[in-house]
Amino acid sequence: MAEERDVFLSARGRTLSAFREDNECRWKAPFYFIQGADPQFGLMKAWANGDCASGGDEWEEEIRLTVQAVQAINQLNPKPKFFVVCGDLIHGMPGIKAVFSGHYHRNARGSYKGLEMVVTSAIGCQLGEDTHGLRVVIVTAEKIVHKYYSLNDLSSQGIEKELMDLIKQN
């Protein structure tokens, strides 16, 4: 089990060692992958209460089902090539301060009644002036701090000292 987790810690140079180039550089049929959708943590209670516009403060049932899904996938033989989760990840959560999303293929942000909406540009195709990149999000007890990094900057310079200092405070 620990070995399986370590595989995800070994991503370097935009490569995941679990997908070895000599085995994976050309498509070899057949293979399969698993697609899951809409764990939507918080929706089940909101739906049960008949108030889908609010609620979402309990995730227990969705967590149980997500764990069950992962356990079912882990028992498959042969193993799927990969597992992807699409759709809504959360429905709601009390005290939420920011929502992070994509799909716009450029960076954008806005706020409404204290809720910050942050759109992160694409790793792939850019539709604006932003470079290909990733957003680093640091959550502390007091605040959420985030910064968009180009893939080149993140690869060559890493996360800047100011943000690393926030991580080390814990």
Interval 57-103: pLDDT, tens: 788 888 899 999 999 999 988 888 888 887 777 776 557 788 888 88
Angle of CA points 51, 55, 60, to nearest 5°: 120
Beta strand 133-139 with 98-101 is: unpaired
* Cα–Cα distance list, 24 to 9, 55, 92, 124 (Å): 19, 44, 38, 20
Amino acid making up residue 149:
Y
| pLDDT given at position 44 | 84
pLDDT in tens, 90-149: 776 557 788 888 888 999 999 987 889 999 999 889 998 999 999 999 888 788 899 999
* Nearest Cα residue to 89 out of 36, 35, 40: 40
Q: What is the pTM of this model?
A: 0.50
Q: How far apart are CA 94 and CA 43, in angstroms?
A: 13
CB atoms within 10 A of CB 29: 4
Q: Residue 112 to residues 89, 91, 94, 117: CA-CA distances in angstroms? A: 21, 17, 16, 8
pLDDT at 161 over 80: yes
Amino acid at position 90, single letter:
I
pLDDT number for residue 88: 74
| CB-based contact 118:135 (threshold 8 Å) | yes
Among 144, 87, 88, smallest CA distance to 116 is for: 144
Write down the pLDDT at residue 14.
60
At 73 the pLDDT is 93
Report the length, in residues, of the chain. Answer: 170
